Amino acid sequence: MIHIWHCFLFALLAIRAGTSAQQMPCDLRETSHGSVCVCNSTYCDYLEQPEITDSNQIVVISSSKDGLRFQKTTGDFASQKPLVVEDKQSTDENFKAEAIVVDQSRAWLQLANIPQRLFINASVRTIRVVVNREKRFQKVSNFGGAFTGTVSYLLKQLRQELQDHVYKSYFHQDGIAYNTVRMSIGGSDFDLEPWAYNEWPRNDLQLSNFTQLDSRDLQKIEQLKRLKVVAELDELKIMGAAWSAPPWMKTNDRWTGFGQLKTEYYQTWALYHLKFLELMQAKNMPIWAISTGNEPLNGVIGFFFVHFMSMGWTPWQQAIWLSDNLGPTIRRSSTQSKVLIFGNDDQRYTYPSWFRKMRSSRNNSLSYLDGLAVHWYWDELVGPQLIDQAHLEMPEKLLLNTESCIGDKPWQTHGPELGSWQRGESYMRAYTQDMRHHFNGWLDWNLVLDERGGPNYVNNFVDAPVIVNATSRREIYKQPIFYAIGHFSKFLPAESVRIEARIENESNPFTQLSVVGFQRPDGSVAVIVYNGQNLPVDVALNDSQRGVIGLRLPPRSWHTVLYK
């Protein structure tokens, strides 16, 4: 037992970096797959934006499988010693989770409820990270999530105080500082039934019955107004996307299946978008951007698997509609001409060929696009090179990931895995990869779902960063996914610029370590470091202007390192 005590002693003697007292810490609860942070109407965890008060200060914000959530540790450039991020188990001996206990050269594995420690003869690796502020890439613009019909419905069930904690947790500076929501124009798969404007009368070219928004929109608008107040947001960017036209405009006269827009309604469908924009503006909730339609391939090739509202487009057809109808209708509008238009809004594997096909059909069609929208779902099977190619061909266009969630695949749990660190790690790897491949931001899918991962009218159950207890309606659970996203969104305000940050001699594709770096508008640097190993890692971060920062990071953890 001697060596174990020795190692605890080491942990205690390690430089005790100061931890913040002002923060409202996570109320950590063990769950089926790990642990979540619990909020109720009177308590929720928040972290004030860390201020770097003097130029020698280093602030590290950390989350770990073992239970850290936005833990703040501070250090100093002047110190010769490495900054040690202490994991939960080293400070809380009652926390029963598997953990690895380490001294300088050896590691022990501690399994939950087993008193013996297994000896691993592993040494802690040192990873050298190069941060070069002189090499600059894209700007950050948006982080956010989707305000679907399901989200609106679930929030409505909660007491106002608990709703407010959802808004504050996501959009306030003390939360994870989102600035954008995505919402459907009409219904989406996360609604309680499929719906569109002007379902009646049919064959109505001028949309005579689309004179006001739906009651579901009005509820969302009330909630978004509250959100802006609670989150102290001056500007909330809203991105709209339509899932399907009313059935009468479609070749199959249905919400789903193999069906496209009838050509005689091309202009009607453009007008439909314009009317939505005008009605939202009239409610003082202007739309920042729209896309050319959610997942256009669902109604062309995806209909075997997709049983929710969708409308098919081939790239050739969509280029004609964009170029002849939607583009001119928006750009010539007296009030909506500045609304941005994003193309594709579908999976990565359609890049870049979708746009090449559009161009071959209407050579000016791409000029109507301000941005490119990508969904995450098949990224683990399709590499980012396709995005690189699209960016190379259209470097001036914004690039956003506009949808992501876990639990849609046949081999995944269809619904939340409460507390799953692994799912958080999937997000961490994905956000890191996209930000290293030209993306300006990321909009996640449902802000909240219930314990089953719904509800919605097609029983399509998936996970979300925040799960509502829809049974008691008294608690919400912040998943590891929430913190994975937050390590980006909270610390990267719009106008932050990605800078070079890489692991020196990164050659091993199986390395479970990644970094991505940014310079923020105030000049400070934010480097996001992910350790996916079951062992701690030492990081020697060498900044081109400041020199070396030494860090000891716990197993299965991620960190945002901030300094000037």
Ligand X SMILES: *[C@@H]1O[C@H](CO)[C@@H](O)[C@H](O)[C@H]1NC(C)=O
How many angstroms separate the CA atoms of 554 and 560, rounded?
Answer: 14
- Nearest alpha-carbon partner for 375 in 146, 149, 140: 146
3-state secondary structure of 10: helix
Q: Site mask, ligand X, residues 504-533, x = CB under 6 A? A: xx----------------------------
Give the torsion through C-alpha atoms of 218, 221, 226, 231, to 10 deg.
160
Is residue 334 close enough to count as binding ligand X by CB under 6 A? no
CB of 355 to ligand X, least distance (A): 15
Is residue 209 close enough to count as binding ligand X by CB under 6 A? yes
Q: What spatial distance separates the first Cα and last Cα of the chain, rounded to whole Å? A: 43
> Which amino acid, 391?
H
CA distance readout (Å), 88 to 66, 98, 409, 532: 6, 11, 33, 17
Q: Site mask, ligand X, residues 357-386, x = CB under 6 A? A: ------x-----------------------
Give 41 or 412: the residue with its C-beta nearer to ligand X: 41
How many angstroms separate the CA atoms of 125 and 448, rounded?
Answer: 38
CB of 130 to ligand X, least distance (A): 7
CB of 255 to ligand X, least distance (A): 16
Burial 76-100 (b: 16+ CB within 10 A, else e): bbeeeebbbbbbbbbeeeebebbbb
CB of 246 to ligand X, least distance (A): 10
Is residue 451 close enough to count as binding ligand X by CB under 6 A? yes
- Span interacting with ligand X, options 110-118, 184-192, 231-239, 540-548, rule CB under 6 A: 540-548
How many angstroms separate the CA atoms of 308 and 35, rounded?
Answer: 32
How many angstroms separate the CA atoms of 479 and 418, rounded?
Answer: 7
Is residue 76 close enough to count as binding ligand X by CB under 6 A? no
CB of 362 to ligand X, least distance (A): 7
Give 307 or 331: the residue with its C-beta nearer to ligand X: 331
Size of the site for ligand X (CB under 6 A): 19
Give 116 or 471: the residue with its C-beta nearer to ligand X: 471
Is residue 205 close enough to count as binding ligand X by CB under 6 A? no
- Out of 267, 281, 519, 544, the only residue in the binding site for ligand X (CB under 6 A) is 544
Is residue 267 close enough to count as binding ligand X by CB under 6 A? no
Is residue 542 close enough to count as binding ligand X by CB under 6 A? yes
Give 19 or 211: the residue with its C-beta nearer to ligand X: 211
Q: What own/partner pairs with CB < 8 Å and gap ≥ 24 does 207-215 have?
A: 207/268, 207/271, 207/272, 207/275, 210/272, 210/275, 212/279, 213/276, 213/279, 213/280, 213/283, 214/186
**Residues comprising the chain, all counted:** 564
**Inter-residue contact 260 to 299 (CB < 8 Å):** yes
Number of C-beta neighbours around residue 482 at 10 A? 27
Q: Site mask, ligand X, residues 124-163, x = CB under 6 A? A: ----x-----------------------------------
CB of 65 to ligand X, least distance (A): 20
CB of 468 to ligand X, least distance (A): 9
Give 319 or 339: the residue with its C-beta nearer to ligand X: 319
| Residue at token pair 């007008």 | 271
Q: Which of residues 459-498 bind ligand X (CB under 6 A)?
A: 469, 471-472
CA distance readout (Å), 537 to 105, 346, 402, 513, 514: 11, 37, 33, 9, 12
How many angstroms separate the CA atoms of 355 and 384, rounded?
Answer: 16
Q: Which of residues 31-60 bind ligand X (CB under 6 A)?
A: 40, 42-43
Q: Is the previous residue joined to 352 through a cis bond, with omega within 30 degrees of 0?
A: yes
CB of 144 to ligand X, least distance (A): 25
What residues contact residue 46 under an 8 Å CB cut-off, 6+ apart?
23, 24, 168, 169, 172, 174, 175
Give 228 or 473: the residue with its C-beta nearer to ligand X: 473
228 CA to centre of own chain: 19
**Inter-residue contact 49 to 174 (CB < 8 Å):** yes
Helices 421-435 and 480-489: crossing angle, nearest 10°?
Answer: 20
Helices 149-157 and 215-230: crossing angle, nearest 10°?
Answer: 70
- Out of 80, 94, 116, 121, the only residue in the binding site for ligand X (CB under 6 A) is 121
Give 482 or 491: the residue with its C-beta nearer to ligand X: 482
- Out of 18, 201, 395, 521, the only residue in the binding site for ligand X (CB under 6 A) is 201
Q: Site mask, ligand X, residues 9-28, x = CB under 6 A? A: ------------------x-
Give 347 or 479: the residue with its C-beta nearer to ligand X: 479
CB of 472 to ligand X, least distance (A): 3
Is residue 413 close enough to count as binding ligand X by CB under 6 A? no
Instruction: Give the residues lining the site for ligand X (CB under 6 A).
Output: 27, 40, 42-43, 121, 128, 200-201, 209, 363, 451, 469, 471-472, 504-505, 542, 544, 548
